[in-house]
Amino acid sequence: MAEGLAGTLQHPRRSLGDRHRSQAIKFQRLANADASQFKSNMDWAEQNARQALLHDFTHVDNWRALAGIKLAIEDEMGLRALLSDLFAVLGRDPDQVAQLSGVPILSVGSELLEAALLRDPLDPDAWFTSLDEDSKASFCARFATLDLSDPRCNVLFGRRVERLWVEGDDGLCIPLARSLLSQRPQNFEMWTDLGRAHERAEAFDEAWFCYDQAQTHGPHTTVRDAFRERMKGRLDSGKKLPWSQPSIDVRDQFLERMQTLASRFVAQEKEPEEEEEVTSVNQDEVQLTQFLDSGEFAAAFFLSRRLVTRGETWAQPFLERAESGLSAGDEVHIP
C-alpha cells in the first residue's frame, strides 16, 4: 500500500471522514443555537468539514456538509471554489465547468452540487450498478476529453475502470488505463492491472513494461520479478516460445507512446523559425524545461525516462524533478 497522503487518496479513510463530518455538524448546530458564538462555531464547523473531505472525498455527505456551511456563512467565493474542486475530481468536464460562469452560486450552488453527484456518483460501486450499455459507451467516449491529472480524479476513475475490468473486457479497459497512467504514472496498482491484461493477451513485452513501471513506482511490490520467473518457467517447460527482456529501442517506443498521451493537455510552443537556432540547442532539454515550467510533470517524466534509458545521463536531474513534481501533485487543498 502506498504511504503518506498518496496512500490516503488511494484508500480513503471513511471512518476519519465520518468523525470529522459529525464534528462539523455538531459545531454548525451550536452556531445556530447561540448567535453570540456563531462565527467561532462556524469556523470550527468549516475546519472539520474540510478535514472530512480531505480524509474521504468519495463520500457525498462530506461535500454536502462543507457546501452547506459555505451557504450558511454566505461564502460565495468559497462555494464557487468548492464546486470547481468537485468538477476537478470529476475530470473537469467542460459541460460542468461552463455551468459556473455567471450564475448566482449562493442561489443554485446546492442544485449544481446535487446534479453533478447524480450524474457522476463518487461511489464506484453505485456508479457501476447504474451502468447500461449506452452509459458505458458514453463514459468511454467522454474519457478522452477529461483532465484526469487531479490525484483524486485519477483514483476515482481508476476505481471505475477496475469495476469494468471485473467483466473481463480487456479491450475496453486497456486504453482507459493507459489514459489514467499517462497523467498519473505513480499509480503502481493500475500499472499492475494493465500488465496483467497484457499478459492475458500474451503481449509479453507490453506486460513487462507495465510491471517494470509498477515495481519502479511501488518498490515494495515484486510484480516485475514475479513476471520474469513466470516467463522463465514457460521457457524451461518448453510450452511457450522463448521470451527475452525487450530491447532499449522497444522500451523507448513504449515510453514515447505514454509521453504522447500525457501531452494531450499541454500547450505546444511554436517551433523556431530559423534553422540555425534549431541546431544550436538541445531540443529535448528545451522540451523538458517547458514541461516542468508549465507543471506538466507526467509528460516530463516519460520524456526524461526515455532519455535516461537511452543512456543520456544529463536528463537524470530532469527525471528527479519530474518525480518530485508528481509526488507534490498528490497534495490536496480543500477550498
Alpha helices in the chain (DSSP H): 4-10, 14-33, 38-55, 60-72, 76-89, 94-98, 105-119, 124-129, 133-143, 151-165, 170-183, 188-200, 204-217, 223-237, 248-262, 275-279, 283-293, 297-309, 316-328
Is 216 a domain residue?
A: no
Expressed as residue numbers, the domain containing 180 is: 123-184
What pLDDT, on the 0 to 100 scale, is given for residue 239? Answer: 60
Same domain, 69 and 174: no
What pLDDT, on the 0 to 100 scale, is given for residue 177? Answer: 94
pTM: 0.79
Q: Which residue has the cell 537524470?
A: 316
Q: Is 228 within 8 Å of 250 (Cβ atoms)?
A: no
Same domain, 110 and 174: no
What pLDDT, on the 0 to 100 scale, is given for residue 23? Answer: 96
What pLDDT, on the 0 to 100 scale, is given for residue 174? Answer: 93
Mean pLDDT per 10-residue run, the chain (335 residues)? 46 80 96 94 96 92 96 93 91 72 85 90 90 88 84 90 87 92 90 92 91 89 88 65 75 85 62 50 89 90 91 92 85 79
Same domain, 80 and 103: yes
The vertex-273 CA angle with 270 and 274, nearest 5°, equals: 145
Same domain, 84 and 136: no
| Cβ burial, residue 72 (10 Å; 0-12/13-18/19+) | middle
Same domain, 76 and 166: no
Same domain, 127 and 96: no
Q: Is 42 within 8 Å of 72 (Cβ atoms)?
A: yes
Is 166 a domain residue?
A: yes
Answer with the one of 166, 184, 202 that is the final residue of a domain. 184
Is 40 a domain residue?
A: yes
Q: Using alpha carbons, select from 31, 58, 55 the residue that is nearest to residue 43.
A: 31
Please list, residue by residue across 281-310, b when 16 or more beta carbons sit within 10 angstroms of its beta carbon and e when fewer do. eeebeebbebbbeeebbbbbbbbbbbbbbe
Same domain, 105 and 135: no
Same domain, 71 and 107: yes
Q: Using alpha carbons, select from 175, 230, 170 the residue that is nearest to residue 200.
A: 170
What pLDDT, on the 0 to 100 scale, is given for residue 5? Answer: 46
Q: Into how many domains does the chain fold?
A: 3
Is 275 a domain residue?
A: no
Same domain, 21 and 81: yes
Report the C-alpha gap between 15 and 127 in whole angstroms: 21
CB atoms within 10 A of CB 78: 18
Report the C-alpha gap between 189 and 193 in whole angstroms: 6
Is 207 a domain residue?
A: no
Same domain, 32 and 135: no
Is 261 a domain residue?
A: yes
Answer with the one of 64, 89, 120 that is the final residue of a domain. 120
Report the C-alpha gap between 53 and 120 in whole angstroms: 17
Same domain, 66 and 149: no
Report the C-alpha gap between 105 and 134 in whole angstroms: 32
